[in-house]
Amino acid sequence: MINALCVAELGTTFPRSAAPYFFMKRSLGSYTAFLNLWVELFGLFIGLAAQSLLVASYLIQPLYALCPPPELPKKCLALAILRSLGLLNIQGLKTVTWFQTLSTLVKVAILCFISITGIVLLVIGKKENVSRFENALDAELPGASQIVEAILQGFYAYGGSTLLVNMAGEVKNPGQTIPRTVLSALSIVTVIYLLTNVSFLTVLTPKEIISSDSVAVTWMDRVFPSMKWVIALGISASMTDSTSCGILTGSRLIYAASQEKQLPMIYSMLNKHLSPAVALIQLIIMSSIAVISSNLINLLKYLGIASWALSVINKIALLKMRYQEPDLQRPYKVWWPLIFISLAISAFLVFMPIIQSPKTELIYQVMFVLGGLLCYLAGVYLKQRSASFEKITCYLQLLFNILLSDDHETCISANKNE
């Protein structure tokens, strides 16, 4: 919540697409903004891959009731889901909005059903349910590195606030809407997820939860065996709204970076639905590569580290902007001690795994982040010799039937006033 409230100031101060990126460039310069873009895009690719794999796991799990589903069909289904949602997003913001509204209603209805059922079983159910819940967390106190790893994976469920700020240019009255949405939505999500986990622990043991790729399906198979297909289809349909939202905001980030001349111009061109089609296609391609090459747990872990690394950079930029431009108009201004608290927590979550239990994969992640410097220098070099890319841009423009808008923020935000 503290982290989300700090990030909300960025979106309300600069109500435009990819507000944190624009804020970073203004506060810490072009290279830092590109490094932020580099890490955030990496997080988006990983996040979309993880979400599509999760949806595929729920869809395919009922076919393999007695064993984990094989990786090949699960990854093929995840790729099909990614590409279908990419095509949906190309149709424009209004189409995506209707889809996300319906899928969110389905998600909340299913989670409320699971939560209420769990409470009923706990209150009036069998003694074994009460006993299972009471003993669910009986274990040794985890170490600091284990706590950090749990938070990094758990934070995945609360990343919607960052996506909202990236869409600040398409939100009505962002100065009031973004802070109110952050407070209300995160509170509702926390309560629903807490009650859902209470329900899971009432029916399943921790070992059963850990070993299951689709916990809700396993829970339903234990409580209402005849309805497990319904719950699998419902959860899969409802979870696609998060994936669709990630695709929507990720394409806006690529679009904004292209407008700031840090990515090729082709990404800032829009189709007839006012959608950055080429940016969407690029996002789907990179996310598909992540689906093919990684498993779900590692994807979530990498996503958490990338998110908190971005959080550290954002808080430093926020403090610098507070000092350098104290008179800048800020419709919403977070209480300054919360910035330092968020900065300290974020730094702890990033560096604790490195200090407590350094692994080879952490070195690879650091090398990847530093690789952003090479890409930035390569981009500067290619920009000076961009004439050779004009023909490629022209052919792509004809292929995808896209145009460069005169006023990109007005054009891409046109739907918010309809």
Averaged pLDDT score across all residues of the chain:
80
Q: What mean pLDDT do residues 124-134 have?
A: 78
pLDDT of residue 28: 86
Residue 301: alpha-carbon gap to chain centroid: 13
Residue 263: alpha-carbon gap to chain centroid: 21
**What stretch of H or E contains 403?**
strand 403-404
pLDDT of residue 408: 45
Structure tokens at 25: 């460039």
Per-residue confidence band for 409, with pLDDT thresholds at 50, 70 and 90: very low
Residue 12 has pLDDT above 80, yes or no: yes
Structure tokens at 210: 């850990």
Q: What mean pLDDT do residues 151-160 have?
A: 74
Taking the model in full, what pTM does it have?
0.77
Q: Which of 19-23, 181-185, 354-358 has the lowest mean pLDDT?
A: 354-358
- Find which of 136-140, 199-203, 237-241, 353-357 is predicted with most confidence, using mean pLDDT: 199-203
Q: What mean pLDDT do residues 185-212 have?
A: 88
Bridge partner residues of 269 (DSSP):
404
pLDDT of residue 385: 55
pLDDT of residue 412: 41
**Residue 31 or 80, more confident:** 80
Structure tokens at 392: 């490629």
Residue 65 has pLDDT above 70, yes or no: no
How are beta strands 269-270 and 403-404 bridged, if at all?
Answer: antiparallel
Contacts of residue 157, Cβ cutoff 8 Å, sequence gap at least 6? 189, 193
Quote the CA–CA distance of 231 and 218 in Å, as a whole number: 10
Determine the structural domain holding residue 7 and report its residue range.
Answer: 2-417
Instruction: Answer whether 75's CB lies under 8 Å from 56's CB.
Output: yes
Per-residue confidence band for 79, with pLDDT thresholds at 50, 70 and 90: very high
Q: What mean pLDDT do residues 326-347 have?
A: 88
**Residue 91 CB-half CA count within 13 A:** 13
Residue 205 has pLDDT above 80, yes or no: yes
pLDDT of residue 416: 44
Burial (CB count within 10 angstroms: exposed 0-12, middle 13-18, buried 19+), residue 355? exposed
Instruction: Answer whether 208's CB lies under 8 Å from 217's CB.
Output: no
Per-residue confidence band for 168, with pLDDT thresholds at 50, 70 and 90: confident
Quote the CA–CA distance of 304 and 343 in Å, as a whole number: 15
Q: What mean pLDDT do residues 177-193 have?
A: 88
pLDDT of residue 303: 60
Give the burial string for 152-163 (b: 16+ CB within 10 Å, else e): bbebbebbbbbb
Residue 381 has pLDDT above 70, yes or no: no
Residue 323 has pLDDT above 70, yes or no: yes
Q: What mean pLDDT do residues 53-61 have?
A: 83
Q: What mean pLDDT do residues 209-216 have?
A: 80
pLDDT of residue 414: 42
Residue 345: alpha-carbon gap to chain centroid: 19
Q: What is the CATH number of the domain that holds 152?
A: 1.20.1740.10
Q: How many domains, the chain?
A: 1
Q: What mean pLDDT do residues 252-277 have?
A: 83
